[in-house]
Amino acid sequence: MSMSASQVRVIDPVLTEIAQGYRHSEHIGHTLFPRVSVPVSGGQVLEFGKESFKLYQARRAPGAATKRIRFGHLGKSFALVQDSLEGQIPREYLRDAAHAPGIDLGGRAINNTLRALSLTLEYEQAQLATDTNNYDGDHKVALSGSDQWSDGASDPTQAINVGKESVRTSVGINPNTLALSSQAFNALKNHPTIIERFKYTSRESVTPDMLAALLDLEQVVVGKAVAFDDEGNDIDIWGNNAILAYVPSSPSGMEDPSFGYTYTMDGHPLVEKPYYENNAKSWIFPVTYERIPVLTGILSGYLIQNPA
């Protein structure tokens, strides 16, 4: 049965555009799980393995059949989850209570709401990327003792190179991204061998960009997000981990091989038309985000546990 016009959600296109461009500066999950649109709320994950980097024999003789290739294979099922929150602007914040909030004030309400939704997504992405059960024995290592980067006798560059080589020999391409927890980043940037490499070229503190150049990576990102549970206990979202991964810088869609993606419903996150609520004497801005982070090419990732 088709829905009537009154039942169909009315979208605010301007505020939805603001919502879709939102990025939290301290969140890094999107670097491992970039957002790609999907038209349905459930299906099968398009996964990638060695076949995505296979050297195909494409040459053909006149009149011969043309070979066909497929990109990835259908893996485990996915089902998008829907998060929804409402931003609130009390009428007292407005100069003229008779008018609705302008785009600037509405955009700030949307961004505050998206900050909460983004933190939830960041937590889910970190849980996927740091779960040892998702990696085989050749794509993870747990450091201890003098191998940890907080020990000056360790060799963090060698540990990272081992991970890069593991990915390269598994799928035929080098990882281009290193995601570091705050603990891992502090241990790496303060390691004596790292400081030694830069002491003649820079007096500044070692930055993620400097590490990326040193390690021959496209990007090094640092996860600094902290959340709090219902009891007020703090959760260091990225823990004590480092993740190497291959992720396309500008994926055209889910067909591009990648460590992971955030499957996102077309047009999300979306903002419904704001409305005024008399009881709260406030303007309300409903925001809905239907998405799920998924691992699509785990062989292109490498997990380093307890680097600090």
Residue 67: its pLDDT value, please?
Answer: 66
* DSSP label of 240: S
- The rounded distance, in Å, linking the Cα atoms of 180 and 164 is 15
Superfamily of domain 13-51+72-305: phage-related protein like domain (3.90.1690.10)
Cα–Cα nearest to 307, from 197, 157, 207: 157
At 29, which helix (H) or strand (E)? helix 29-32
User: What residues does each domain of the chain span?
Assistant: 13-51+72-305
Tens-place pLDDT, residues 38-82: 998 898 888 876 665 555 566 667 867 776 656 655 678 889 999
Residue 9: its pLDDT value, please?
Answer: 55
Residue 70: its pLDDT value, please?
Answer: 60
* pLDDT at residue 24 tops 70: yes
Residue 291: its pLDDT value, please?
Answer: 95
- The rounded distance, in Å, linking the Cα atoms of 164 and 215 is 10
Query: At which residue do the structure tokens 């049965």 appear?
Result: 1
- The rounded distance, in Å, linking the Cα atoms of 290 and 79 is 10
Residue 50: its pLDDT value, please?
Answer: 64
pTM of the model as a whole: 0.85
- Better-predicted residue by pLDDT, 102 or 252: 252
Give me the residues paired with residue 123 across strands.
none
Strands 301-305 and 140-142, sheet pairing: parallel
Tens-place pLDDT, residues 210-260: 999 999 999 999 999 998 888 888 999 999 999 999 999 888 888 888 999
Residue 4: its pLDDT value, please?
Answer: 37
